[in-house]
Amino acid sequence: MTTNRHGWHPETTLVHSGTTRSPYGETSEAMYLTQGFVYATAEAAEARFNGDDPGFVYSRYANPTVAMFENRIAALEGAEAARATASGMAAVNLALMACCKAGDHVVAAKALFGSCRYIVETLLPRFGVSSTLVDGTDLDAWRAAIRPETVACFLESPTNPTLEVIDIAAVAEMAHAVGAKLIVDNVFATPIWQSPLSLGADIVVYSATKHIDGQGRCLGGVVLGTEEWITDEVMPFMKHTGPAMSPFNAWVMLKGLETLALRVERQTRTASRLADVLAEHPAVARLIYPGRADHPQAEVVRRQMKAGSTMLALELKGGKEAAFRASNALRIVKMSNNLGDARSLITHPATTTHQSVAEEARLELGITDGLLRLSVGLEHEDDLAADLLTALDVAHNA
Ligand SMILES: *Cc1c(COP(=O)(O)O)cnc(C)c1O
């Protein structure tokens, strides 16, 4: 992604794309806090409803502020169209629902965000859509699981929380061989470092709650794909089931997009430096960072990502006790299960985000009792390094 289809670089797209201005010519995007729209005549209303006039009808379908956000992120991603949703989970659910009907089959990588896994493993089967979970890094497992009735493959890369990296182009090729679509949850990579559509994916989903807002304020999500798929499959679902993003949240997300590249670049630079510093600490058994040469899928990272990530994971010697001691000793880094925020946030997945996952399944995913996930924020790298190293000393010297 050096330029989008208008020939702009991402930084320019993030500031300007999708903007529409009211007759007042406001500089910053207007927030259209309105449920509906009024029509000058009965004929005008009829034309809106029969599609002769493409204007707005109702904010459950579309809204001018939400449309600016959708058009801006579509331009960034190089997607034909996008629809914004109330949360990231609404986006994932929408993408899957828009692909499946009873009798269909879905294959997904088992290292999924918890609620995504619930949809695939529990919810879809209740409606007659069967699913198979595979080790996403094992291409033979995908090959064995994909069947003629498979309609969608679903993965996130890097994964939460162990930052495994899945070969998107290879899975896309296998999915397409049976006419299935590949859906990629691109939250951890961000649209700055990874463009799944250019790697062969058909649909991209985001929790905009994370890096797109980037300052921990609003929930939001977005689904991106072809104009045809969005119009024919996504829009009817949006219209009739109502997962729309609020115009207020869309306005916050638009402001977030303006600074997305700056923030993600800085957070990634800091994460990469912290990864190298923390990896040397005697309390650390294993440090996982997609930008390092010792990452298990370093070769795939080089092929499909422009840089590591704003996230890193570290496994401490001494299990849960050491992980808790280190977490409790932090002064700057806050404990929270969110990510992509301006504040650095640390979480202990085994006792929080993945507490409800059975121990055996958890260990299979590499979520050991000593594992901590760190989302690197915008603080100065020296302050973060000092805070983290002090906390690791506390864990180590107990
Ligand atoms: C947070 C997250 C989601 C869900 O997003 P919400 O906005 O919290 O609903 C889905 N996938 C991934 C990878 C996430 O990190």
Tens digits of residue pLDDT in 208-237? 999 999 999 999 999 999 999 999 999 999
Mutate to test the pocket of ligand 1, among 110, 183, 210, 345 (most ligand atoms within 8 A of CB): 210
What pLDDT does 356 receive?
86
> Is the CB of residue 210 below 6 angstroms from any atom belonging to ligand 1?
yes
- Check whether 1 has a pLDDT greater than 50: no
What torsion do the CA atoms of 105, 107, 190, 300 make, to the nearest 10 degrees? -150
> Is the CB of residue 78 below 6 angstroms from any atom belonging to ligand 1?
no
State the closest ligand 1 atom to the C-alpha of 340, by its place in the atom list counted from 1.
15
- Predicted TM-score (pTM) of the model is 0.96
- pLDDT, tens digit, 9 for 90 and up, residues 116-142: 999 999 999 999 999 999 999 999 999
Contact 342, 215 (CB under 8 A): yes
CA pair distance 85, 95, nearest whole angstrom: 11
Share of the chain above pLDDT 70, in %: 98
> Is the CB of residue 374 below 6 angstroms from any atom belonging to ligand 1?
no
Percent of residues in the chain assigned helix, strand, coil, to nearest 5 = 40, 15, 40
Mutate to test the pocket of ligand 1, among 96, 160, 187 (most ligand atoms within 8 A of CB): 187
- Check whether 2 has a pLDDT greater than 50: no
Domains of the chain: residue spans and CATH: 10-258 (3.40.640.10), 262-397 (3.90.1150.10)
Contact 373, 311 (CB under 8 A): yes
Question: In the chain, which residue ranges form alpha helices assigned H by DSSP?
Answer: 10-16, 42-50, 64-77, 88-97, 114-118, 124-126, 139-145, 168-177, 190-193, 227-229, 235-241, 247-258, 260-279, 298-304, 319-329, 359-364, 381-396
CA pair distance 224, 206, nearest whole angstrom: 9
Q: Report, as an integer, the average pLDDT of 250-269.
A: 98
- pLDDT, tens digit, 9 for 90 and up, residues 326-383: 999 999 999 999 999 999 999 999 999 999 888 999 999 999 999 999 999 999 999 9
Contact 129, 147 (CB under 8 A): no
State the closest ligand 1 atom to the C-alpha of 90, by its place in the atom list counted from 1.
9
CA pair distance 44, 42, nearest whole angstrom: 5
Stated as kind and residue range, the H or E segment containing 206 is strand 203-207
CA pair distance 27, 36, nearest whole angstrom: 24
